[in-house]
Amino acid sequence: MASDKSGILYLFDRPSEPVYVPKGDEKVAFDIPPNYLPDRYRSVATQVFNRFGDDAESKLQVKQITLPDLSIPMQLGRNQPFSLFIPAHRRVAARLIDIFMGMRTYEDFLSVAVYCRDRLNPNMFIYALSVAILHRPDTKDLPVPPLTEVFPDKYMDSGIFSRAREEANIVPPGSRIPIEIPRDYTASDLDEEHRVAYWREDIGINLHHWHWHLVYPFEGDIRIVNKDRRGELFYYMHQQVMARYNCERLCNRLGRVKRFINWREPIPEGYFPKLDSLVASRTWPARPSGAVLKDVNRQVDELDFDIQDLERWRDRIFEAIHTGSVINTRGERIPLTEKNGIDVLGNIMEASILSPNQNVYGDLHNFGHVAISYCHDPDHRYLESFGIMGDSATAMRDPVFYRWHAFVDDVFQEHKNTLPNYTVQQLDFPGIEIADVGLTTNQQRNVLNTFWTKSDVDLSRGLDFTPRGPVLARFTHLNHADFSYKIVVNNRNNTPQRGTVRIFIAPKEDERGLPYSFRQQKNLMIEMDKFPVTIKPGQNTFEHRSSESSVTIPFERTFRNLDENRPSANGTLEPFNFCGCGWPQHMLVPKGNKEGFPMELFVMVSDYKGDAVQQDEPTGCKDASSFCGLRDKKYPDARSMGYPFDRQPRAGVENLSQFLTGNMAVTEITVRFSDTVVPRSRTGGVGNTLTFG
């Protein structure tokens, strides 16, 4: 156990249960110095250790160290809610991350983490611990547990937990059956927004948003925050979320999201999350239809800002876009260049510590989340806390998240619209032509099949003070049959050429059944995959499986048994990298509809000379690099994120077919939904041997 670094992962086990209680099914106990006990237990230290030490099957030695100053992280109460969108909370979390990162050895890191665990706010502690594990050289290959297993209360109907406790207390571990989570528990069909609740409330989608913010924290040590093209990735990841959500709405006969731009009008969308916080022992507040944003003045959260502040920051950002430059804190002008302007703008909008001037451009994205999440109690008169828009682990469940981010994306598009159009020379790849593209399954060509699947999540790590053993919750979620892309490329050059295959899909028709103009359709383009190829002279056929997508993480990263991913007996670990960050594989394909939803499949082979990034080939996991980048490396594509759809078209291009150059091709595909539950294979995918009616 001594040389194995995975012991620190036991700190994720039952975050509200004291650290000296044996952890995990292996009943591993932290052997802690007596003065690491909280003050109220020190006088009875011997009895505490005797009582719980006898239950342990193995012990993890925790050495005593001279502890750092923890006064700042201690400022947040143990039972208070924690939000990354609140500057005061961000500050205390950043200090804790700095303390964890500053520990010279793994043993010191483990020691201070053990000391902090029973004293600090559990949500903040788990966040800071996760960020530190992901970024410390000695722990970065450890698999950070998914938040569903640590804080299951953020992801499922609160009524489940009393049933889970009953199951755990009465039924022995080997006989427990999964508790079925109802598919419709937050609203009925009277609310038309509920048609896409299966998407917004999907565990994998919400885990993606949480994990992305772990990999890209916006406050803390500059070496952690200042990753390659981080501001641009904030723009692109959220832009792609909006493209996917708009497509999902069209599949369900809903219009595209309307931007939330008038912050003084009522919000028609209500949301009743049906979530309880087990840690803070409170119910997440609901937002009824017709809520109005108000000025926020909450001394308890050190928050004091007006809606007018948001409007002022918005106007200054728009002015910067249209004058082509921003002002830094020294009063100097920084041009928003064609290459780096979007990165600067992303850092301003997200308001990370990389923002060139927070005094001028403010904290627009985060404070929008805050204002919405406090609209039910903006001055703390009812002693209520924030709604789910205040937590990056839950925000994507709320319909208003997408209206807010439609506004945020609109700001970025305003900048993109000022850039020069791509010329034919910037798009074409001389001598390279795509002869044919298609999707292959064992069913009909160019038809994608979607359906429901049931999968389990183990809640036992997050349920404190219940008997050990698995407690499973069973979710019904969208899934799709496996498929492959088949691309035939002709190389008319005499030498092999290197290229990058870029694959997108987009809805073919708008809400009224009319074909899209290019200007509308480009923002609905969903990136499906991106991979390098070597094209020999003559005809080449490339096949690529859907499970190898550059935007997704494997199925078992969302629904899995953590113990299967723990180290083997000899202490070896598979390289983990950013593998927990990425779009969930089961949500790669839009739902479609029963009649068959028409979409366009776009494939491009770009010239690798313009794509190449000079760096060593990454080792280990490269999942989801399109959304999450690569650890300790540059973003693996030199082009602008979203290329070739991130700018307005050249003159004369009215629709997608007019946009095409020789190295591009488009074909129509159909996404057909079957309203049945289909069992999945052990890999999580569903084979193509199934027949769909």
Q: What is the separation of C-alpha 690 from the centre of its chain, rounded to a whole number of angstroms?
A: 31
**Per the structure block, which two tokens stand in for 220?**
């803390």
Cis peptide before 567 (omega within 30 of 0): no
CA distance linking residue 301 with residue 278, whole number of Å: 21
3-state secondary structure of 72: coil
**Residue 674, Cβ density class (10 Å: 0-12 exposed, 13-18 middle, ≥19 buried):** middle
Neighbours of 183 (CB within 10 A): 12
CA distance linking residue 178 with residue 173, whole number of Å: 11
Neighbours of 392 (CB within 10 A): 20
DSSP letters of 529-590? EEEEEEE-SEEEEEEEEGGG-SSEE-GGGTS--GGGGS--TT------TTTT-SEEGGGSS-
3-state secondary structure of 322: helix
CA distance linking residue 35 with residue 32, whole number of Å: 8
Looking at 201, 269, 350, 433, which residue is catalytic? Answer: 350
Q: Under a CB-based contact definition with an 8 Å cutoff, are residues 178 and 475 in contact?
A: no
Question: Helix 399-416 and helix 341-350: axis angle, to 10°?
Answer: 150
- Which helix (H) or strand (E) segment holds residue 506: the answer is strand 497-507
Cα–Cα–Cα angle for 429, 431, 433, nearest 5°? Answer: 75
- Tokens 């899934």 correspond to 479
Q: Under a CB-based contact definition with an 8 Å cutoff, are residues 350 and 225 in contact?
A: no
**Is 302 an active-site residue?**
no
CA distance linking residue 691 with residue 693, whole number of Å: 7
**Per the structure block, which two tokens stand in for 490?**
């002709």
Residue 7 DSSP code: G
Cα–Cα–Cα angle for 367, 372, 375, nearest 5°? Answer: 120
Task: Write the CB contacts of 190 (distance below 8 Å, at least 6 apart in sequence).
Answer: none
CA distance linking residue 189 with residue 320, whole number of Å: 43
CA distance linking residue 342 with residue 13, whole number of Å: 40
- Max distance between CA atoms of the chain, in angstroms, equals 83
On the CB side of 90, CA atoms within 13 Å amount to 24
- Which helix (H) or strand (E) segment holds residue 499: the answer is strand 497-507
325-327 and 333-335: which strand pairing?
antiparallel
CA distance linking residue 157 with residue 164, whole number of Å: 12
Q: Which amino acid is at 501?
A: V
Q: What is the dihedral of CA 166, 171, 175, 180, to 10 degrees?
A: -10
Q: Under a CB-based contact definition with an 8 Å cutoff, are residues 644 and 427 in contact?
A: yes
Neighbours of 77 (CB within 10 A): 12
Q: Under a CB-based contact definition with an 8 Å cutoff, are residues 131 and 140 in contact?
A: no
3-state secondary structure of 285: coil
CA distance linking residue 107 with residue 602, whole number of Å: 51
Q: What is each CA distance from 491 to 260, 364, 601, 605, 607, in whole angstroms?
A: 47, 48, 22, 11, 12
Give catalytic residues, as residue numbers: 350
